[in-house]
Structures are given as C-alpha cells and as structure tokens.
C-alpha cells in the first residue's frame, strides 16, 4: 500500500486541519486511517441537524456541541492510539499566530468562507508552511497545493465577490425571483423588523422624487391603536399595490418591460379572512419549544409546495402577525436568518407576492430559503473524494515531492474521459499583493475621501485585513490593538474622520501608503493617485483599487448591469449583494464563486473529447469557457469551479 | 411523483443534498434496497455514503472474522471490538452503520453470495460486490441479469493505490463480455489499469488464490502470464508496465485515500442510477493515485452479435 518512505513521512508529520465540517470529517477519518498520528483541528462551529446528512462523525445527540471535539472523539474510537488536538475556536483568533502555524509540516483547509481561507493563506505564507486548500459544491470540487515561492498562493487570483444587484432592479424592475427575494429580505423585512435607523431604499423608485423619507416612515409605523389585521393590510396594500401604481406612472420604465400588476389585499383575501387568518392561540398554547410558524398555524405542511398568491398572502399576514404578537421584543433588532422559520416564511411570502405582481415564477419555501440563506449544495460523496485527494497531496508535500504536486478537479460530467482531472500547479502571480511585493494603486479624491473610507472599504473589505495598521512613511496614521494608550486611540479616532489631504501627515497624489496586518504578518504598499471625479453609479465608493485585480476583461464586467463580483474596485456599497456566509463547510470552491445557488446546474466543462490530452492547457480553456458562461447570466447559478473571467489579464504560467 | 411526501424530519436531515438532486430523487433513494458483499475499506466508504444519502435499506454480506488486515482501511470497526466478539466483519460494520442514519435499515445476511438464487437477488435494486473472484463476479452478474426486474450490478476493488469500478446497469455490456473484449479492438489510450487488473485476476484464478492473496514472489509468474495474455490479444507488453503489476501484486492492502475516492465515486454512481439523475458511468472507472487521474472507459464488444 504505502512505501516505507511514505509511512515514515506520515508517521512523523504534524498536521493542522482547519475546519471539521463536511470535508473536515472525511479528512480526519482518512488521515487517521492513513497512519497520521499527530493531528490538530480547529473549528469554531457547533453541530446542526442539517450537517448530519454528510458530516458522518456527528449524531443527533451531538447537536449543539463543538465539531472539532466531537470529531476527535469519534475518530479515536477506531484509531485510539493517535493524537488529535481539537480547538473549538475561530482560526482568526489571535491565539493562532504565525508561531502556532510554524509547528506544522502542512496545513489542510476544509473551510466554508473566503475570509478564513484568505487569513489561513496569509499565515501559511508568513510561517512558510505548505497549504492544501479544498472546496466542494454539489458534485464539483477541487484540491490545490500552495507552497510559498513555488506555486501560486490562494490569493494570487482575485476571488469573485458576491453578486450584487443595482438598486433600481431590486426596488423597481425585478426580472428574476432572486430580485424579489433580495427585496423581501433586505428591504421589506429589514424595514419592518430591523433597525429603524438603517438606510432603506424600500420607497426609492427610479424617478420618483415626491416620496419623502418622512412619508415612508409614517407608512411602515404601526399607528396607535391600529389593529394588527388593519396594519398588515395597510403594509400589504402599500408595497404591493400603491408602490406598484406609482412605479407604473413612470411610463419610461415600462417601454421595454412587462408592466407589473398592482395587488391589493381586498382582491386576494376578503377582509374577514385576514381577520380569521390562522390561529395565534394554537401557537401560544403549544408547550413544545417548536418555533413560531405561520405555516403551522395555517396548516400548510410541505416546504416543497409552491403556494399560490392567496396562500402566500395568508402566510404574509400570518407571519407578520406572529412577529408582532409573539416576537414583539425582537422587533427593531432583527436581521434575516435562514434558520429563523418565521423570517423565512415572511420573506418567501413577500417575495412570491411581489413575483406574482411582476409575472415572475413563484417558488417554494424550500427553494426561497436556499436562495435567501445562500445555502450551499452539499453531498457526502464529493467531500469524501476531495478528502482522499487532499491526503494524497499531503503525502507528496511531506516527502517534498514537488514534481508530482497536482491540483485536482472533481467534475460532475467527464471531461476527456476524466471525472477526476489533475492539473499541474501554477507559478505564483508576480503581481499578487499577498505573496509578492507588488504595490497596489488606489485612485481617490484625496480632498473628499476620509481615512475611514480607506480603512473600512479598502483595507478591511478588499484586502481582508482584520487588524490593520496604516502608515505614511514613518508616520502611523492608524492602528488597532489592546495595548494602545488612550491618547493614541483618540488620535487615531480623530484621523479616521479627516480627509486624506488633511491628515497630520497629508496623503496626496504620489503618496505611498503602507498597510499592514500584524496578525497575518502581511504588509503591502498602496500608491495613491488623486482623481477629482468618480462615477456615482459605477464607482460609488469614490475609490478605485487596482493592481493585482486589474485586468482588461474586468472593465467590461463592471459596466454590465449586474456586478458579478470579480472587481475589487467598485463593488457597489449601494447595490445589494447576497452575502456569502454559509452555514455549511463547503461553500466557496477556491478560485471560484460561491455565489447563489438556485437550482439548475450548468455543465461547466465542455472540452472536446478527441483533442490531445494536454492537461496544462485545461484551466485556461475552462476559464475562457467560464467567462462566456458568466456573461450569460441566468438565475445566479454560477457554481463555477474555476476562475471566472477576471483572471484573464493575469496570465498564469505553468510550473516548471 | 410516486406519492409519499418526504417527512419533515427527512427534509431537515437531507436539506443540503435535496438541493443537489431534488426531492423526487430523494424519495426514490429512500425506496432503494442495496446489497453489498465484501466489506473492505472501499466498500465501507461506499456504505457510509449511501447510508448518509438515505437509501431504503442496506444489506451486508461478509462472514469473515475480523483480522488486522480487515481493520486497516475500515473505519467502521473499532479495534477493541475485535477481540471481544466472535462477530463477523459484516455484523460489526452493521452496528456502526445503523448509527449513521436511523432512517436507513441496515442488516446482515449470512452465506456465500454466489450460492444464492434469483429470488434472493430479486429483493434488491443494487448489488455491489468486492473481494471476490472473477468467476463469482460473473456468476452473480448473470443472476442479476436473469431477473425480470432491473438490478444494477457493480464490482469494485482497490489494490495498492489503484482502484477499479465495473458497472452493469443492464442496458449494456456485462462483466462476462466486458472482460473478454479483444484488447486489440480497444482504443489506444486505454487505462493501463484495465489490462493489469485482468492479468492479476487471471493469475489468481489460475493459482486458486483468494483475491488479494499475492506477494512479490508471484511477480515472475505474473510477468510470464502478461506475456501470454498480451500475445493472445496481440497487445504490446509495454501497455502493462512492470511497475504497475508489481504494485498490484505486492500492495494488496488498500490505501485509505484511494478507498475514499473510489468509494465516493461508487456512491455517486449508485445514487445516480437509483435517482435517475445525471448520466451514470459506462462501464468502467479507474483511479491510480500515482497519476491522479480518475478515468471512465467504455469497454464493450466492438460489434455485438458477430
Ligand atoms: Zn499570491
């Protein structure tokens, strides 16, 4: 089975696993069976019911417990004599410093989010420890090997950011169900149950200047003494009836679009019915800790069913009522959570009523929940396969067998007769700001933008630094830390609100800023270029960051009506994005989008069968293919395995 | 489709995979009955996968007592149970598997698979065999074929860091034909593993060995057999490299990462076949960790009926 050399390497190895989810469970099992004896595993999550279909080390009785700890115990049962050290913690905790990483021979990632992946990538680079990265979505998956200076790092190719949608598509001209979901979740739900002080575009219509925010406030506020039924009806009629009428009055908008149909509650449900709608008492009396549910009180059972307009309207009124009656205290503080049954019911119903109005296909609660919660498709088999491939690469890494490192794709449909396709790893990207010294370029109006904008929108949001420090030459402009004295903290706070050119050490065109994250031991330079004007629609941050992300293809994408990610410069803060923050282990396939799954799967690989197998050429072929697919944007189902168009400008070189 | 909604409990447990293959497929899975025989590492992986996926029932056959070898790549058996019980491998695996998903019926059947009659196989939708001789595979495959209903047949084996899956969905070539195809007629870029596994199978059969009962001492004889077989098929001997045969002869134990990979692919294939979603492999899958490729080969009689 294994050669003596391999066995020695395996037995002597100390490995760190990050993630004890779907890939993690499989990986820990396979590592233990393969003879690994010193395994450390970090995971901050606790076990949930929806994990049990694939995270086979966990049982129902473990729900709520630490994944890392339960996984350890489960594996020790069949391999009692090995050492497994669990950490129920966030890998981004300052406890896991570069020195912590240095003790390992290899780090194996089975993570579920971009943020943590980037963080681990940086720490592995700083500690000079090889990293094996992995990801799966449905039947697709991949494993990549990242060795400092030898192969590309995880961030050598920019990662697509979550899809965003222009405000007017969401507020006025939805054409897909996802637009209705975003409207229901980020606008209506947020308006009714969330923080009242948050900006909310619910009443924004493309050219309607008459509706003042005051007016809007009045509509959504429940009047003194107003019955719940009446209040619900008023909201319903306002958002599905009146607002649509107002939008319709703008003829220009509908020239090339189907006109929506205003929907009023009286046409769908007689008033009496709304009054009798559901039975709150039934919910009140239930002793069982079962969650408050409009479906339950209306007797609707299957989340797979697609409700008609009337049923959706009833769910709308019922869930609104239940929020007001049963969860009054939370109102004002709620944010949408896919595990909140009532919230999912409300959002499903509201999205479906809106969809009816716009002639968009209705969806079941099950589907709506997946879209709204950005739930990732996951199966056990792909995770098992990927875990096996990780161990195979890990054994090569431990033996320093650089010539045989491979990145491997697990495909749904065979390509060149292959379901598992190995490809030689790529050289590091010479302009990668993470693993090279190449500076970034920031165009900004130094008289308007504040230091806070740079720290929040660039250093944190784009560069993924969590404990940033900003320097201009030797002058410290900003830093965070526990050991700062009061004066410094006040000083930095004051700096944040100053415009760049007004800082104690003024930042103007030609300035080179140094930003660092001490925790990640990452430092990079940003060349500042002053620019007066920015396009409000396309560059809403008033800043454009370029360098490692810059590519000619990008500009085109940015002009498209939907910002499909890929740009580090102008992901609009004023557009809606579906945040990629999943509950499951798998999520973002590295070098891929982890964007919204809505159902239909597209075939991603279509490489001609008879072409001479030249594996090195595959990724580029596949990439250019993906680019086309990305532009052809249908329902957000871009479960793309490989980089999308954004990487085209940075031509990858084959290793060796 | 066929009645019966998924229960709330099923929807919650299978949420993430229903999002991959849909509720109809999940319902079909929950009605499928699977039989497996020969519980080494790869099949243990497969069993885990289909139990998690939520098949209707899984029946295990493996009367062998637990040995150290049986434990080497099998996470379903804890080493301490080994001594204390006179239980068979199938019985021990059954206990673990039941625990993975209470909604799946897992049970053990005793006896020699090839001695069972048609009415036994008739109870199943899928039959998976491993660690048995070429003759036994052919026999079982034929029994499945003779049934009025369609029973999907799979044979899977891993040696060293190589693995092979054979699939017969009964709309295609079955094992007797698939391993008797004249090699000359096969495409030039055929997986070497296909030829090598046939040579090893022949060797074990000729010497009366159990599957996997080989060692480095057998290599000269195996190389001699390769020569004969290649000559008979007019195939260049270099199509079956020495090193590959050496690995297969000596590395009789499974390599756990390969078990995970091949058991994963097999799980996926069986799920595809039951659910009717996706296009199933026809009719061989090969994986060799040395080159890292997982390849599908379509091996059938070039001109059926002639
Ligand atoms: Zn890099």
More confident residue, A172 or A539: A172
What tokens were used for A483?
């050991």
pLDDT of residue A281: 47
Percent of chain A's residues with pLDDT above 90: 54
* A415 within 8 A of A141, measured Cβ to Cβ: no
Strand duo B33-37 + B57-61: pairing: parallel
Look at residue A578 in the predicted model and tell me its pLDDT.
43
Provide the token pair at B40.
């080494």
Q: How far apart are CA A646 and CA A624, in angstroms?
A: 10
Residues whose CB is less than 8 angstroms from the CB of residue B53 and which lie 6 or more positions away in sequence, other chains included: A53, A379, A380, A381, B17, B29, B267, B271
Residues in B closer than 8 angstroms to A389, CB to CB, are 257, 261, 292
Report chain B residues whose CB lies below 8 A from the CB of A391. 256-257, 260
In this complex, is the C-beta atom of A419 within 8 Å of any C-beta atom belonging to chain B?
yes
Q: What's the pLDDT at B281?
A: 85
CB < 8 Å to A79, chain B: 79
- Nearest-CB residue to A381 (from B41, B254, B268): B268
Chain B residue with minimum CA distance to A34: B256
Q: Is A568 left (phi over 0), alpha (psi -120 to 50) or beta?
A: alpha
Q: Distance (Å, rounded) from C-alpha A10 to C-alpha A14?
A: 9
Dihedrals φ, ψ of B157, to 5°?
A: -150, 140
Gap from B122 CA to chain A (nearest CA, Å): 27
Contacts for A283 with CB less than 8 Å, ≥ 6 apart: A292, A293, A296, A297, A322, A326
Inter-chain residue contact B251 with A385, CB threshold 8 Å: no
Known catalytic residues of A are 168
Tell me what ipTM this predicted complex has.
0.95
Inter-chain CB proximity B295 and A303 less than 8 Å = no
Chain B within 8 Å of A378 (Cβ-Cβ)? yes
End-to-end CA separation in angstroms for chain A: 29
- What are the structural domain ranges in chain B? 8-171+254-297, 180-250
| Number of cross-chain residue pairs from A and B with Cβ atoms under 8 Å apart | 179
Peptide bond into B283 cis (omega under 30): yes
> What value does the mean pLDDT take over residues A188-201?
85
Could you report the per-residue pLDDT of A61-111, keeping only the tens digit for each?
Answer: 999 999 999 999 999 999 999 999 999 999 999 899 999 999 999 999 999
Q: List, in order of start, the domains of chain A with CATH numbers.
A: 4-160+377-423 (3.40.50.720), 177-359 (1.10.10.520), 439-546 (3.10.290.20)
Interface probe for A, chosen from B188, B261, B277, B297 (most Cβ of A below 10 Å), is B261
Q: Which residues contact A157 (CB under 8 A, 6 or more apart)?
A: A429, A591, A643, A646, A647, A650, A652
| pLDDT given for residue A256 in this prediction | 86
What are the structure tokens assigned to A349, written together?
A: 């119903």
CA pair distance A156, A443, nearest whole angstrom: 22
CB contacts of B82 in chain A (<8 Å) are none
Report CA-CA distances (Å) from B288 to A182, A624, B191, B202.
Answer: 46, 29, 10, 20
**Is A53 marked within a binding site?**
yes
Residue A250 has pLDDT above 90, yes or no: no
The CATH number that domain B8-171+254-297 falls under is 3.40.50.720
CA torsion A547-A550-A552-A555 (nearest 10°) is: -130
CB-based contacts of B244, cutoff 8 Å, min separation 6: B162, B192, B193, B196, B288
The length of chain A is 656
d(CA A615, CA A171): 46
Helix (H) or strand (E) holding A131: strand A131-137
In this prediction, residue A628 carries a pLDDT of 26
The answer to whether the annotation marks A652 as part of a ligand binding site is: no
- Specify the pLDDT at position A14: 98
Q: Which of A30, A112, A384, A583 to mutate to test the interface with B (most CBs of B within 10 A)?
A: A384
pLDDT score for B270: 96
Q: Out of A1, A75, A370, whose CB is closest to B251?
A: A1
Contact B16 A33 (CB under 8 A): no
Checking if the pLDDT of A597 tops 80, the result is no
Quick one: DSSP state of residue B32?
A: -
Which position has the higher pLDDT, A538 or A596?
Answer: A538
Average pLDDT on A388-404 reads: 96
Sort A145 into a burial class: Cβ within 10 Å, 0-12 / 13-18 / 19+.
buried
pLDDT greater than 80 at residue A236: yes
Find the residue in A nearest to B99 (Cα): A59
Of A2, A26, A421, the CB nearest to B260: A26
pLDDT at A626 > cutoff 80:
no
Q: Give chain B positions within 8 Å (CB) of A77.
A: 78
pLDDT of A408-438, one tens digit each? Answer: 999 998 988 999 999 999 999 888 989 988 8
**Contact with chain B for residue A304, Cβ under 8 A:** yes
Task: Check residue A51 and give its pLDDT.
Answer: 87
- What is the predicted pLDDT for the residue at B301? 65
pLDDT at B218: 94
Q: Which of A224, A239, A227 is nearest to A191 (CA)?
A: A239
B41 to chain A, closest Cα gap in Å: 10
Residue of B nearest to A407 (CA): B292
**H-run or E-run covering A392:** helix A380-398
Query: Is the pTM for the entire model greater than 0.80?
Result: yes
How many other C-beta atoms lie within 10 A of the C-beta of residue A257? Answer: 11
Min Cα–Cα distance to chain B from A637, Å = 12
Higher pLDDT, A552 or B115: B115
A612 lies within 8 A of chain B by CB: no
CA of A174 to the centre of ligand 1 (A): 38
Contact check, Cβ <8 Å, A377/B16: yes
Note the pLDDT of residue A50. 83
Q: Which of A375, A384, A422 lies nearest to residue B263, judging by beta carbons? A: A384
- A47 to A383, B1, B139: CA distances (angstroms): 17, 33, 45
Q: Is A348's pLDDT higher than 70?
A: yes
Q: Terminal CA-to-CA distance of chain B, rounded, Å?
A: 42
Q: What is the distance, to the nearest Å, from the Cα of residue A270 to the centroid of all Cα atoms in its chain?
A: 42
Using an 8 Å CB-CB cutoff, list chain B residues near A338: none
User: B159 - beta bridge partners?
Assistant: B162
Q: Using the Cα atoms of residue A13, residue A14, residue A19 and residue A20 in order, give the sign of their dihedral.
A: positive
- Please judge whether A53 and B14 are an interchain contact, meaning their C-beta atoms are less than 8 angstroms apart: yes
Length of chain B equals 306
Q: Is the pLDDT of residue A601 over 60?
A: no
**Cβ distance of A33 and B41 shorter than 8 Å:** yes
Q: Contact A30/B260, CB-based, under 8 Å?
A: yes
State the nearest Cα–Cα gap between B77 and chain A, in angstroms: 6
Q: Decide if A83 touches B, using CB distance below 8 A.
A: no
Which of chain A's residues have a Cβ under 8 Å away from the Cβ of B83? none
Residue A259 confidence (pLDDT) above 60: yes
* pLDDT band at A272; cut points 50, 70, 90: low
Whether the CB of A52 is below 8 Å from some CB of chain B: the reply is yes
Q: How far is CA B162 from CA A128, B33, B294, in A?
A: 32, 28, 10
Residues of chain B with pLDDT under 70: 1-3, 81-85, 171-176, 301-306
Residue A280 is predicted with a pLDDT of 47
Rounded CA-CA distance A140/A150 in Å is 26
């Amino acid at each position: 089975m294994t050669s003596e050399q391999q066995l020695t390497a395996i037995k002597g190895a100390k490995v760190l696993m990050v993630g004890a989810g779907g890939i993690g469970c499989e990986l820990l099992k396979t590592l233990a069976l393969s003879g690994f004896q010193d395994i450390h595993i970090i995971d901050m999550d606790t076990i949930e019911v929806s994990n049990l279909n694939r995270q086979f080390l966990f049982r129902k009785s473990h729900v709520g417990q630490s994944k890392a700890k339960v996984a350890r115990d489960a594996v020790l049962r069949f391999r009692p004599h090995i050492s497994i050290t669990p950490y129920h913690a966030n890998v981004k905790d300052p406890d896991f410093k570069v020195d912590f990483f240095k003790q390992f021979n290899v780090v194996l990632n089975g993570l579920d989010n971009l943020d943590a992946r980037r963080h681990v990538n940086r720490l592995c680079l700083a500690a000079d420890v090889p990293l094996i990265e992995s990801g799966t979505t449905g039947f697709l998956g991949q494993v990549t090997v990242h060795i400092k200076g030898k192969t590309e790092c995880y961030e050598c190719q920019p990662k697509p950011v979550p899809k965003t949608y222009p405000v007017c598509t969401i507020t006025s001209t939805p054409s897909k169900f996802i637009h209705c979901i975003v409207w229901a979740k980020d606008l209506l739900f947020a308006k009714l149950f969330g923080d009242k002080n948050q900006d909310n575009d619910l009443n924004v219509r493309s050219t309607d200047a008459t509706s003042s925010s005051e007016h809007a406030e009045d509509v959504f506020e429940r009047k003194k003494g107003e019955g719940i039924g009446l209040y619900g009806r008023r909201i319903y009629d306002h958002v599905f009836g009146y607002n649509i009428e107002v939008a319709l009055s703008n003829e220009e908008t509908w020239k090339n679009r189907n006109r929506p149909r205003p929907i009023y509650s009286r046409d769908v449900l007689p008033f009496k019915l709304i009054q009798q709608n559901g039975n709150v008492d039934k919910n009140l009396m239930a002793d069982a800790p079962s969650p408050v549910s409009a479906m339950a009180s209306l007797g609707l059972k299957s989340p797979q069913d697609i409700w008609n307009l009337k049923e959706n309207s009833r769910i709308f009124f019922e869930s609104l009522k239940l929020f007001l009656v049963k969860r009054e205290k939370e109102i004002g503080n709620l944010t949408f959570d896919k595990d909140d049954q009532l919230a999912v019911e409300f959002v499903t119903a509201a999205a479906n009523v809106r969809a009816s109005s716009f002639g968009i296909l209705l969806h079941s609660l099950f589907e709506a929940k997946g879209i709204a919660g950005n739930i990732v498709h996951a199966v056990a088999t792909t995770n098992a396969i990927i875990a096996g491939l990780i161990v195979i690469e890990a054994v090569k890494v431990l033996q320093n067998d650089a010539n045989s490192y491979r990145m491997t794709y697990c495909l749904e449909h065979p390509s060149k007769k292959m379901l598992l396709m190995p490809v030689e790893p790529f050289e590091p990207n010479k302009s990668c700001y993470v693993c090279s010294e190449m500076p970034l370029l920031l165009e900004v109006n130094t008289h308007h933008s504040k230091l806070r904008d740079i720290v929040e929108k660039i250093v944190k949001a784009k560069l993924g630094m969590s404990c940033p420090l900003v320097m201009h030459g030797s002058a410290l402009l900003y830093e965070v830390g526990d050991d700062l004295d009061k004066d410094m903290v006040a000083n930095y706070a004051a700096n944040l609100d100053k415009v760049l050119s007004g800082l104690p050490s003024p930042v103007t065109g030609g300035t080179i800023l140094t930003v660092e994250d001490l925790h990640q031991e990452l430092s990079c330079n940003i060349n500042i270029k002053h620019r007066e004007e920015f396009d409000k629609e396309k560059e809403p941050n008033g800043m454009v960051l370029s360098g490692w992300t810059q590519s000619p293809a990008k500009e085109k994408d940015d002009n498209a009506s939907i910002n499909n990610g890929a740009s580090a410069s102008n992901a609009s803060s004023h557009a809606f994005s579906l945040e990629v923050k999943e509950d499951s282990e798998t999520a973002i396939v590295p070098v891929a989008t982890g964007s919204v799954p809505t159902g239909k799967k597209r075939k991603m690989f279509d490489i001609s069968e008879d072409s001479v197998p030249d594996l090195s050429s595959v990724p580029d072929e596949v990439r250019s293919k993906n680019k086309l697919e990305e532009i052809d944007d249908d329902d957000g189902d871009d479960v793309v395995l490989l980089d999308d168009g954004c990487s085209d400008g940075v031509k990858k070189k084959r290793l060796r | 489709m066929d009645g019966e909604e998924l229960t709330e409990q099923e929807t919650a447990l299978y949420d993430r995979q229903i999002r991959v293959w849909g509720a109809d497929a999940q319902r079909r899975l929950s009605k499928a009955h699977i039989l497996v025989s020969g519980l080494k590492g790869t099949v243990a992986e497969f069993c885990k996968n289909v139990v998690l996926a939520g098949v209707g029932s899984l029946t295990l056959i493996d009367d062998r007592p637990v040995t150290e070898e049986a434990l080497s790549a099998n996470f379903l058996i804890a080493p301490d149970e080994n001594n204390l019980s006179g239980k068979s491998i199938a019985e021990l695996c059954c206990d673990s598997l039941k625990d993975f998903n209470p909604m799946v019926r897992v049970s053990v059947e005793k006896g020699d698979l090839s001695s069972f009659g048609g009415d036994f196989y008739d109870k199943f939708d899928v039959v998976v065999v491993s660690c048995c001789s070429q003759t036994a595979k052919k026999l079982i495959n034929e029994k499945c074929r003779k049934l009025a209903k369609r029973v999907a047949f799979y044979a899977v084996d891993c040696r060293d860091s190589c693995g092979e899956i054979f699939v017969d969905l009964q709309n295609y070539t079955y094992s007797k034909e698939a391993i008797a195809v004249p090699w000359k007629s096969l495409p030039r870029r055929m997986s070497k593993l296909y030829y090598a596994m046939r040579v090893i199978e022949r060797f074990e059969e000729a010497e009366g060995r159990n599957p996997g009962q080989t060692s480095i001492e057998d290599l000269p004889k195996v190389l001699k057999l390769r020569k004969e077989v290649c000559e008979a098929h007019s195939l260049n001997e270099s199509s079956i490299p020495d090193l590959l045969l050496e690995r297969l002869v000596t590395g009789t134990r499974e390599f756990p990462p390969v078990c995970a990979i091949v058991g994963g692919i097999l799980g996926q294939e069986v799920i595809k076949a039951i659910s009717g979603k996706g296009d199933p492999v026809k009719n061989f899958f090969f994986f060799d960790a040395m080159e890292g490729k997982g390849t599908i080969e379509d091996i059938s009689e070039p001109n059926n009926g002639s």
